[in-house]
Amino acid sequence: MNDQARSLPASPRRRWLMKTAVALGAAGAALGGSIFWHRGMSDGRMTEHGLEVLKGLARGILPGYLPTAPAARQAALDTHAQRMGQYLNNLPEAVRLEINALLGLLANPATRYLVTGLSQPWSQAPDEAITQALERMRMHALPTTQMAYHAVRDITCMMFFTNPDNWKLVGYPGPMEL
């Protein structure tokens, strides 16, 4: 009787489970590959996707501090993204890997939507939509998403407000002479 049980075909439930496992594995691999493809840094330089995310984050975090003239605003965003890239490339390797993964997560359309609710690319989304997306990250139920929000906000603010070129934009006269 034991030999007869072994020769029976697999049950439909087992087949369904196997098909589901294969489908989930393929979907996970595709999503992971997409995040890797959209990573923020590669070979010590910011990627196009990483720069897009950094500029979008700046638009959402610093809306009242950026210039209003389109050319000046774009120049300020380009300078900010360049400074962010320099700073991020000087971080320890372990931190760079985490930031790179976070930028990849925010650059990938599927995970960007899941984490922020932002359906448009960062470069095409209006400032108000980016601000709402960041607010969603800030108030998210998962503590890791909240921590990611605080990390990108803190680094963005630190790099923007320590740039002497931006001091006039925020009304800071500079350090006092002693």
Q: What is the pLDDT of residues 130-170, one digit of tens each?
A: 999 999 999 999 999 999 999 999 999 999 999 998 898 88
Query: Quick one: tokens of 119?
Result: 């359906």
The Cα–Cα gap between 93 and 124 comes to: 31
Dihedral angle at the C-alpha atoms of 128, 132, 135, 136, nearest 10 degrees? -160
Q: Which two tokens stand for residue 37?
A: 């493809």
Kindly report the number of other CB atoms within 10 A of residue 81's CB atom: 21
Distance CA 63, CA 87 (A): 22
> pTM here?
0.76
